């Protein structure tokens, strides 16, 4: 006699766009905690072979660093930090607070991006990320023509 298993009905989630469009691609993408994987692969640093690879990671780091560094020079945030530290009695304390804030905002941004990457199909994700980068490029071009 077959006893139907006690079905505890999982709350039926509304199917997200990504599930509708590309379930396989979604499953293939590195869903949970690739941060952790990357961190652990680094700790035992003789173990190679996890997806990005040290060389690729350094490349990503450098390209990210360079573009954002150049974009951020002379930006309003940098000017605000400059003014605050110039006016205050302890400029390094201002710099510390500002630095922590910058680290926090970039962490928020990166985590938001990572979260979005689990919601969107890789194709949609690449397209929207590309458009976002185009927008940033346009903003910088606009600043180029504004500044004299």
Show contacts with another protein in window 68-127 (CB under 8 A). Answer: 68-82, 84-86, 88, 90-91, 93-114, 116-117, 120, 122-123, 125-127
Q: How far is the CB of 32 from another protein (least distance, A)?
A: 12
d(CA 81, CA 97): 10
Q: Confirm if 81 and 94 have CB atoms less than 8 A apart.
A: yes
Cβ closest to another protein, residue 2 vs residue 145: 145
Cβ closest to another protein, residue 47 vs residue 131: 131
Quick one: which of 17, 31, 47, 131 contacts another protein (CB under 8 A)?
131
d(CA 60, CA 53): 11
Question: Taking Cα atoms as reference points, which of 13, 135, 148 lies closest to residue 74?
Answer: 148
Q: Would you count residue 21 as binding another protein (CB under 8 A)?
A: no
d(CA 18, CA 20): 5
Question: Residue length, the chain?
Answer: 148
Q: Would you count residue 47 as binding another protein (CB under 8 A)?
A: no
Cβ closest to another protein, residue 19 vs residue 124: 124
Q: Would you count residue 133 as binding another protein (CB under 8 A)?
A: yes
Q: How far is the CB of 47 from another protein (least distance, A)?
A: 16
The three-point CA angle 127-33-29 to 5° equals 40
Cβ closest to another protein, residue 19 vs residue 22: 22
The three-point CA angle 17-130-29 to 5° equals 50
């Amino acid at each position: 006699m077959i006893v139907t298993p006690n079905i505890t009905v999982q709350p039926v989630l509304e199917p997200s766009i990504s599930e509708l469009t590309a379930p396989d691609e979604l499953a293939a993408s590195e869903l949970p905690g690739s941060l952790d994987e990357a961190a652990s692969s680094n700790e035992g640093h003789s173990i190679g072979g996890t997806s990005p690879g040290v060389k690729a990671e350094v490349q990503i780091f450098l390209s990210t660093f360079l573009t954002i560094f150049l974009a951020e020079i002379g930006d309003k945030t940098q000017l605000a930090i400059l003014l605050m530290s110039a006016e205050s009695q302890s400029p390094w304390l201002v710099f510390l607070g500002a630095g922590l804030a910058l680290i926090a905002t970039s962490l928020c941004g990166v985590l938001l991006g990572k979260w979005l990457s689990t919601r969107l199909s890789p194709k949609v994700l690449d397209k929207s990320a590309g458009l976002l980068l185009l927008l940033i490029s346009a903003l910088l071009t606009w600043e180029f023509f504004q500044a004299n």
